[in-house]
Amino acid sequence: MRRRFLWIVLAVLAALVLVLVIQRDDALPVLDPADLSSFTVKIVALVFVGALALAFFRERLSHALEAALVWVVIALLLIVGYAYRFELRDVSDRVLSELVPGHAASRGRVVEIARGRGGSFSVVVQINSARIAMVLDSGATSVVLTQEAAKAAGLPLEVLAYTVNVDTANGRARAAPVTLDRLTIGGIVERAVPALIAQPGQLRSNLLGMSFLNRLESWEVRGDRLILRSYP
């Protein structure tokens, strides 16, 4: 099994080398004299170290070769992972958005959120420094928070004036107007967002309403995904 793995790795490395060799000349990097001399020194040093390793492990050549190939593969994976770190982050965000309800997958100015099992869009937002679960509600004219969410966000509950009438699932209630310093969803950050705080016991879920959505360049529901786009 180990030898079979060794030959597979060798075949993959050989294929990579072959691809590099058969590339067009204009696709290959052009080295200036300084870079070429540095590259030559590195190759000589690599050959020297390899020769020493072969001399040291001449009785266990196959084991030494297997160990060297393992480290080569690990190094290649690290290089590829670093080179494509932004693409891999986008992929991981999309996977998490499917697996974790409310997780926002960000691509520049665009944020995508998968529909929850109940048919609504649950969104995990950050208000000031607090992470708060909200539900998209395009019928709500404003962002509306429960008392618990407002307290977590550090809003001054003791000085609120409940002067605004709102319709909730429990009927007509009163809410207090506030301004949120910062509301963040994925890569979208909006500041000074108008919001309401419902009276204690009058609201079950925090609502992401139009006082936030109207600030965006666009938002739409496409299939089972909510797509938010901020202004540049």
Rounded-to-integer distance, Cα 191 and Cα 60, Å: 65
136-172 pLDDT, tens digit per residue, is 999 899 999 999 999 999 999 999 999 998 876 566 7
**What is the predicted pLDDT for the residue at 36?**
45
Q: What would the CATH number be for the domain defined by 100-229? A: 2.40.70.10
**What is the predicted pLDDT for the residue at 136?**
94
Buried b (16+ CB within 10 A) or exposed e, 175-207: bbebebeebbbbbbebeebbbbbbbeebbebbb
Rounded-to-integer distance, Cα 126 and Cα 182, Å: 8
Which residues in the chain show pLDDT less than 50?
17-31, 33, 36
Structure tokens at 58: 């001449």
Q: Any idea where the domains of the chain sit in the sequence?
A: 38-73, 100-229
Rounded-to-integer distance, Cα 21 and Cα 222, Å: 45
Q: Which among 145, 137, 201 is positioned nearest to 170, based on CA atoms? A: 201
Q: Which helix or strand (DSSP H or E) is residue 49 part of?
A: helix 33-56
CA–CA distances in Å: residue 43 to residues 38, 39, 47, 74 = 9, 6, 6, 20
**What is the predicted pLDDT for the residue at 107?**
83
**What is the predicted pLDDT for the residue at 94?**
59
